Each structure stands twice: as structure tokens, then as C-alpha cells.
Amino acid sequence: MNGIALRSARGTQLSLVCAALLGLHSSVLTRADEAADGKSAFAACSACHSVDGSKRLGPSLNGIVGRKAGSVADFNYSPAMKRSSIVWDAPTLDKFLANPQQEVPGTRMPFSGLPDANKRAQIEAYLATLK
């Protein structure tokens, strides 16, 4: 059971180490590989965000790519998020996930951000698969 705790926190780093040992570079990983890794990296988000349309502490993230920020009906967004005029795609998600408060000052999402660019890219690839 101990492994469960550490998998999500460290699993990504571990797989990058393995990739390095095998002489691979992250750029040869396909978008599908990234999305698969992204599903595990998404553990950083899934305590608060569902992907099946159900409301949790945060809005559901199915269909987020291509959607206007702050537009899920019935979700109580911050005024900052509603006003942001962001449309979610890989670049906007990347900026937001890197530092949510800097990108949307006043967002109510209590998350300080993901400094690891690879992890962000994986999550973005995974989110793009959710319809």
C-alpha cells in the first residue's frame, strides 16, 4: 500500500529517470503516451475535479479544451475566472497550471501550481482526450 502514496507524487519523476536510462528523450514520446502518463499525473487534480460531469470541489473537466474559462453551468466560479476571457487550450492551460494565482489573480482554486513542465504537458494531453 505504501507504493500508492508515492506513485502519484514521484511516479512521473521515476518514469523520466527510466526514460533517460534507456536513452530516450521526452520529445520522442507520442501525444498518446503523454496522455497516458497524464492520467496518472492528473492525480494532482482529481481530489477536487471529476472528469465525468459531476460537481466536486472544482468544476468537472470533461470537455475543458476548447471551452471558455468559467463557463460550466451551476459552478460558483470566482469573478476573476469569469472575467478572464481565457479559452482553454494547451498554451493557456500550461500557463495557468504553472502558476494559477499569477495567471488568474483571484482564482478560487487552492492550488499553488505545477513547476514541472513535463507533468503539465502530460496533463494537458490527457485533458484534451476528455470529451
Residue with smaller CB distance to other proteins, 3 or 91: 3
Note the residues at the interface with other proteins (CB under 8 A): 1-2, 4-9, 43-48, 55-57, 76, 78, 108, 110-112
Instruction: CB nearer to other proteins: give 31 or 75.
Output: 75
- In whole angstroms, the minimum distance from the beta carbon of 17 to other proteins comes to 18
Give me the residue label for grid cell 513535463.
Answer: 118
Closest separation between CB of residue 128 and other proteins, Å? 21
Tell me how far apart the alpha carbons of residues 90 and 95 are, in angstroms, rounded to a whole number: 9
Please state the φ and ψ torsions of residue 68, each to the nearest 5 degrees.
-75, 140
Measured CA to CA in angstroms, residue 38 lies from 22, 42, 75, 92, 123 at distances of: 20, 6, 25, 17, 4
| Rounded-to-integer distance, Cα 35 and Cα 129, Å | 7
Residue with smaller CB distance to other proteins, 20 or 57: 57
Q: Where are the beta strands (DSSP E) in 1-131?
A: none
Least distance from other proteins to the Cβ atom of residue 111, Å: 7
Minimal distance, residue 129 CB to other proteins, in Å: 20
User: With respect to other proteins, which residue has the nearer C-beta, 50 or 92?
Assistant: 50
From the list 124, 81, 123, the residue with the least C-alpha distance to 103 is 81
